[in-house]
Amino acid sequence: MSVEFAPLTLEPAYRKVAAAIGARILSRALVEGERLPPETELARQFRVNRSTVREALRELESRGLVQRRAGSKLMSVSRPQQGTVAAGVSHALMLHDVTVRDLWEALTILEPPIAAGAARRRTDADLKCVSAAVEAFAAARGDTEQAVQLSAAVFRCLGEATHNPVLGLAHEPLLRLLGPSLRIMIDEVPQARARIATAHRRLLDALLARDADAAQQWMARHIRDFRKGYEIAGIDLERRVTGVTDPSANPAS
Amino acid sequence: MSVEFAPLTLEPAYRKVAAAIGARILSRALVEGERLPPETELARQFRVNRSTVREALRELESRGLVQRRAGSKLMSVSRPQQGTVAAGVSHALMLHDVTVRDLWEALTILEPPIAAGAARRRTDADLKCVSAAVEAFAAARGDTEQAVQLSAAVFRCLGEATHNPVLGLAHEPLLRLLGPSLRIMIDEVPQARARIATAHRRLLDALLARDADAAQQWMARHIRDFRKGYEIAGIDLERRVTGVTDPSANPAS
DNA sequence: GGTCTAGAAATTGTCCGACAATCATACGAT
DNA sequence: ATCGTATGATTGTCGGACAATTTCTAGACC
């Protein structure tokens, strides 16, 4: 046998540049808010063309590691926003043919402990976040879309209230996928709003009393209700979750 | 009041192009495996320069929506690989100062139900996946790094065995973050390997018997053991989880 | 007919240079 | 000190170029 050589530099330059900058950010050598050097300067340092640098920046940008601050030209280092990451995960789940059942099962697992943790560790600000969403939901009589959003907002506030970023980030993609089926359910099942509002109130009470057990129980019931709602609304549990209605779905005419 | 104008086209062209192509993929108008038109063709269709198209492609690439198949030039549509998405999430969590406690709490919540689901729905192939990892772990006496990887592999196989992609994707980032602290624990706590191996065996037994309760119980105990291990190893629970040791951390010299 | 090969065409990765629009800064006027 | 302005820096986009590599096409051969 001859000497073996490893295949080398299969990676294009733009990815190497992105990896180099990304590693600096992940290692915290570049901290949040710090401004990146201009593209020409990066090109000079890496000994590469500005176009190549720009391609690398697009990758870092979409990973949420760099960001252009509003009304500013220079890129600055940033931590990935929760929304950015969650969108990626929910898109991935959609494309992997996640069913309503899969989603529901995950909620069954995640949300009750989240509610319990929220009851244990909520601050007054968290309480305000939840109660605002709960009240707005109860008030949103007509508007289905708003009701769906507010229902998700309650979950979101509970996630925040755990003060555990892992939990917040873990359930955010689920909330995004929940939208479409929840919308159908609220429209088709007359008693859905009332049951959700009740669960909201009980959850709020449990949070107020810092009663983790009650919060967990009511959340579990809340999620079970979803399933009943699906059945009543005639939503097939094996149906794939549909895409989130995205305002950017604007086909180039 | 004067007429209101919405702020317009703050979005650069490269992002619009990426959004347009991305929307087609998410709406399944472009399906997995399909080859994207060449860059020049895309540039012609969108009426933009090829450089602009390339920047858009870099974004889609990093979101995992398009991919270059090995040794091929053309881009093809793909669903985001689990690894790609999980890497993004774990990076985000790192940068958001997630602590060992946060991570541990999330594992406490997620893993026991995952084990239960795995026991309920595992196939023979899943069983083989788990048992292979379990045996390899028991056999990997010396190599800490391998033991860590195999320990994660057991979790990963269990996640697969639930046949619920949501659960698999939800816990994958946690497994990646687990590495560093687990490595320390295995090195510092003499009995760690034995306890982990025992838990593995019990989990495997439960899977074999399709005993969801036993699987859940043993997994809960397994995770509780982690916490004890952290304490014995002197790992501060409030410590931030450190970065995953990344082979691409190659600073441009 | 099927398979193989060589040349042609297409495609990507990278470079260079250019320019308008916008942002940042320094500087002078009020 | 505040404001407006001129100047320079930076980004977004464009056009063109070229080498390396892949894909396609058309014969050549069995």
Tell me the one-letter amino acid at B186.
Answer: I
CB-CB contact of B127 with B158 (8 Å)? no
Q: Do B244 and B90 meet the contact criterion of CB atoms below 8 Å apart?
A: yes
- How many pairs of residues across A and B have Cβ atoms under 8 Å apart? 170
Confidence of residue B54 (pLDDT cuts 50, 70, 90): very high
Q: How far is the CA of B146 from the C1' of D30 (A)?
A: 54
Is A99 found in the same domain as A69?
no
Confirm whether A162 is domain-assigned.
yes
Given this model, what pLDDT does residue A115 score? 96
Please indicate, yes or no, whether residues B204 and B89 belong to a single structural domain of this protein: yes
Q: Does one domain contain both B71 and B86?
A: no
Mutate to test the interface with B, among A85, A166, A241 (most CBs of B within 10 A): A166
Residue ranges of chain A with pLDDT lower than 50?
1-3, 6-7, 246-253
The contacts of residue A91 (CB under 8 Å, 6+ apart) are B26, B63, B65, B80
pLDDT for position B6: 45
Q: Which residues pair with B75 in a beta bridge?
A: B68
Q: Do A92 and B64 touch (CB under 8 A)?
A: yes
Of A54, A92, A169, the CB nearest to B80: A92
- Strand partners for A35: A76
User: Cβ separation of B79 and A95 shorter than 8 Å?
Assistant: yes
* Helix H or strand E segment including B251: none
Question: How far A116 CA lies from chain B's nearest CA (Å)?
Answer: 11
Please report, rounded to whole angstroms, the spatial distance between the CA atom of protein residue B14 and the C1' atom of nucleotide D10.
Answer: 17
Specify the pLDDT at position A123.
95
Number of structural domains chain B divides into:
2
CA A22 to chain CA centroid, Å, is: 22
Q: Give this prediction's pTM.
A: 0.85
Residue A56, domain CATH: 1.10.10.10
| Residue pair B150/B136 in contact by the 8 Å Cβ criterion | yes
B87's tokens: 């890497």
- HEC assignment per residue over A8-54: CCCCCHHHHHHHHHHHHHHCCCCCCCCECCCHHHHHHHHCCCHHHHH
Average pLDDT of the residues in B95-101: 94
Shared domain check, A108 and A149: yes
B4-CA/C19-C1' distance, Å: 33
Residues A13-45 have pLDDT tens digits of: 999 999 999 999 999 998 888 889 999 999 999
The answer to whether residues A19 and A139 belong to one domain is no
Please judge whether A85 and B80 are an interchain contact, meaning their C-beta atoms are less than 8 angstroms apart.
Answer: no
pLDDT digits (tens, 9 = 90+) for B162-209: 999 999 999 999 999 999 999 999 988 888 899 999 999 999 999 999
Tell me the pLDDT band of B74, cut-offs 50, 70 and 90: confident
Residues B218 and B100 in one domain: yes
Average pLDDT in chain B: 89
Q: Among A77, A93, A110, which residue terminates a domain?
A: A77
Which residue range forms the structural domain that includes residue B147? 82-249
Element (H, E) at B66: strand B66-68
Predicted pLDDT of residue A69: 78
